[in-house]
Structure 1
Amino acid sequence: MARIYLARHGETDWNRLGRFMGQQDIPLNARGKSQAQELGERLYGVGFGACFTSDLTRAQQTAEIVLESLGSDLVPVRDVRFREIDGGRFEGLTREEQKASYPHEFQVREAAKSQGGDQRIPFPGGESFSEMVSRALGGLDDIARLEARGPVLVVTHGGVIQAVLSHILHLTRDSLDRMTIANGRATIVDWSNSGETAQILGINI
């Protein structure tokens, strides 16, 4: 079993504006860099044995700041499986802009979500929540097999952390939308057996 700290990257300007980033490569803003520094301070003394990060800039920047704050010489390993969901043509748009620009696709997703069935519906030109769940869990399984000397830090995205929690807790997408995964905060899980016996130790610490 591996103890994994799933950290969401710090804030970006698109976070602040309510724009759906998906896999667009948006860097941290000043507040996001401060959040990463504060996260490192909160995690001081954990003694991480390895660090993995999404290959997107905002996650890499967060990982570097956290490790520097910890005084760690770990080198973050980039893993595309910890990328945010591919939002296709919805990326870069606010929720209202999505609705205005793609009314049919938006309505299909909203209707399915209300019935708990949108997990397999891909974003137009992108991927589905189920596809993101599958790749993220595969990444965690590989980490669990590493037997790292200490807990493992994974710097990733809000959607990925939601994916992990949905798998452990068997939550619907509608339920997940009521759960905030904060920028610059970490969720701690003990992970093994593809999450079948996983335990959640903390959210948004």
Structure 2
Amino acid sequence: MSGAAVPTGLRVWLARHGETEWSKAMRHTGRTDLPLTSEGRRQARALAPQLAGIDFAHVLCSPLLRARQTLELALPGVAAPELDDDLMERDYGAAEGITTVAMRERTGDPTWESWTADIEGAETIDDVGARTDRVIARVLRCQVPEDGGADVLIVAHGHLLRVLAARWLEQPAVFGQRLTLATSALGVLGFERERRVLRRWNLTG
């Protein structure tokens, strides 16, 4: 942060989008721009009471439809959210639209998983980590009042948010594989003194 004061009163709320047909089927969903299902819309509306009353200083959102729909339902009337391409889900390349089970059959590797596999045409996990590092740097520049805290909301995607949380904790991007996050679940990042911490995680309904 180039010598800048650590904004220890900052709270970063992470919200994963609601269910889509592909997330329901456990298919890798990267840049395919799917809408929410009716259940996904219900899940997104269920976020509203959890976010009500929080005066968000900034609201950032993936430009993909499922994230934008979730934000609109979870925080009705939100003014001018910032759509950020760095918050788009991972590009899964050849694994796009395919389940882990099917990829294990296709590759003949019973241990295959997208977090560690070399996938043709895909972003690497570290590529995703570099994008989340840019988001974190922008968030850390938020002004926090001396007499209180400030809240930022980020609405995005499962793997992207898990990587973002890992990088917030100053862990390698692949550490996100240990931070499961359900559809339409919340997490809260923050500080304990000057140390970045995970305050809450995978909060649903």
How do 1:156-175 and structure 2 match up within 5 A? Answer: 156-167=156-167, 168=169, 170=171, 173=174
One-letter amino acid matched to 2:135? G
One-letter amino acid matched to 2:81? P
Confirm whether residue 76 of structure 1 aligns to residue 81 of structure 2. yes
Which residues of structure 1 form unaligned runs of 5+? none
Which residue pairs with 2:180 in the alignment? 180
TM-score for the superposition, normalised by structure 1: 0.81
Confirm whether residue 58 of structure 1 aligns to residue 70 of structure 2. no
Which structure has the highest strand share of the two? Answer: 2
Aligned mate of 2:29, from 8, 12, 21 = 21
Q: Note the C-alpha offset of 1:169.
A: 6.2
Which residue pairs with 1:34 in the alignment? 42
Distance of 1:170 and 1:140 partners within structure 2: 13
One-letter amino acid matched to 1:84? E
Distance of 1:98 and 1:111 partners within structure 2: 8
- Percent identity of the aligned residues? 27
8 A Cα contact 2:186 2:202, kept in partner: yes
Q: Note the C-alpha offset of 1:111.
A: 8.8
8 A Cα contact 1:64 1:76, kept in partner: no
Aligned length: 188
> Could you say if the C-alpha distance between residues 122 and 55 of structure 1 is closer, same or farther in structure 2, counting changes exceeding 3 Å?
farther
Q: Note the C-alpha offset of 1:130.
A: 0.7
Distance of 1:14 and 1:54 partners within structure 2: 17
One-letter amino acid matched to 1:163? V
One-letter amino acid matched to 2:125? F
What secondary structure sits across from 2:15 in the alignment?
Answer: strand
Confirm whether residue 67 of structure 1 aligns to residue 63 of structure 2. no
One-letter amino acid matched to 2:171? H
What do you get for the CA RMSD once the two structures are aligned?
A: 2.7
Which residue pairs with 1:87 in the alignment? 92
Aligned mate of 1:124, from 120, 127, 151 = 120
Q: Note the C-alpha offset of 1:162.
A: 1.3
Q: Deviations over 1:2-58 (max 9, x none)?
A: 321011001111111111101211111011111111111111112212211011110
Aligned mate of 1:46, from 54, 57, 60 = 54
> Could you say if the C-alpha distance between residues 112 and 27 of structure 1 is closer, same or farther in structure 2, counting changes exceeding 3 Å?
closer
Q: Note the C-alpha offset of 1:178.
A: 4.6
Q: Note the C-alpha offset of 1:172.
A: 7.8
Which structure has the highest helix share of the two? Answer: 1
TM-score for the superposition, normalised by structure 2: 0.81
One-letter amino acid matched to 2:185? R
Q: Note the C-alpha offset of 1:109.
A: 8.0
8 A Cα contact 1:67 1:74, kept in partner: no
Which residue pairs with 1:5 in the alignment? 13
Q: Deviations over 1:130-170 (max 9, x none)?
A: 11011112112112213278311100111112112323163
What secondary structure sits across from 2:183 in the alignment?
Answer: coil
Distance of 1:52 and 1:198 partners within structure 2: 20
Q: Note the C-alpha offset of 1:122.
A: 4.7
